[in-house]
Amino acid sequence: MSISTNDLKNGISLDLPEGLFQVVEFQHVKPGKGGAFVRTTLKNVRTGAVIERTFRSAEKVEQAVIDKREMQYLYREGDDLVFMDNVSYDQMNVSPKSLGSAVNYLIEGSTAVLQIYNDEIVGVDIPASVELVVTETEPGIQGDRVSGARKPATVETGIIVQVPLFVNVGDHIKVDTRSGDYLTRV
């Protein structure tokens, strides 16, 4: 579906020759001399790279309609993760590669919003933080209260998180999904 660059809004997705982009910021510019143009900041939906791009005023660009589906992660099947659509109950096998780092924070029963364009997963929205169970870490040493000291802990999804010394195996911890940092014990 073609739209005019005059109709651009923040959040609109565009299918450009360089790839699939989302408009982060746009500005209509009408100089004293010459034609008007639209200066944009675009974010690549697949890679996250940000580019600056200028379009002529009223230039036609291809709008990409990205379908956002709330889905529940059910289980692993071979290498794939099986998700169920919360509305239609359709199941879908998803490669961990198309989920990016979100795969490190998904546990069975958790919900994610999959962004789908032409049957391809182009993005995943997960909560800003998740609760995970510590499966492996060194035991905390009694009396060791060094302020800010950290130790590695493996959580149920298999990733390693730096946690304070008082965290033990079996503890539920909250982890920031954007940075992978420990937030608090739950």
Report pLDDT digits (tens) over 164-182.
888 889 999 999 998 999 9
CA pair distance 170, 186, nearest whole angstrom: 11
Residue 118's pLDDT is 87
Is the predicted pLDDT of residue 140 greater than 80, yes or no? no
Residue 42's pLDDT is 95
Nearest one of 63, 65, 55 to 118, comparing CA atoms: 65
Residue 149's pLDDT is 81
Tell me where in the chain the CATH 2.40.50.140 domain(s) lie.
Answer: 67-125, 129-185
Give residue 119's region: left, alpha or beta (phi > 0; psi -120 to 50).
Answer: left
pTM of the model: 0.76
Task: Please write the tens of the pLDDT for every residue from 10-42.
Answer: 989 999 998 899 999 999 999 988 889 999 999
- Contact yes or no for 10/22 (Cβ under 8 A): no
Q: What is the mean pLDDT of residues 96-110?
A: 90
Task: Please write the tens of the pLDDT for every residue from 67-82.
Answer: 999 999 999 999 999 9
Query: What dotted CATH number matches 129-185?
Result: 2.40.50.140
82-113 core/surface letters (b: 16 or more CB in 10 A; e: else): bbeeeeeeeebebeeebbeebbbbbeeebebe
Q: What is the mean pLDDT of residues 47-58?
A: 90
Which option is the CATH number for 67-125: 1.20.58.220, 1.10.8.590, 2.40.50.140, 1.10.287.70?
2.40.50.140
Alpha-helix residue ranges (DSSP H) falling in 9-156: 96-99
- Quick one: fold of 2-62? SH3 type barrels. (2.30.30)
CA pair distance 135, 115, nearest whole angstrom: 31
DSSP 27-38: EEE--SSS--EE
Tell me where in the chain the CATH 2.30.30.30 domain(s) lie.
Answer: 2-62
Q: What is the mean pLDDT of residues 121-147?
A: 83
CA atoms within 13 A on the CB side of 14: 26
What percent of the chain clears pLDDT 70, i.e. is strictly above it? 96
Helix, strand, or coil here: 104? Answer: helix
Q: What is the mean pLDDT of residues 125-133?
A: 92
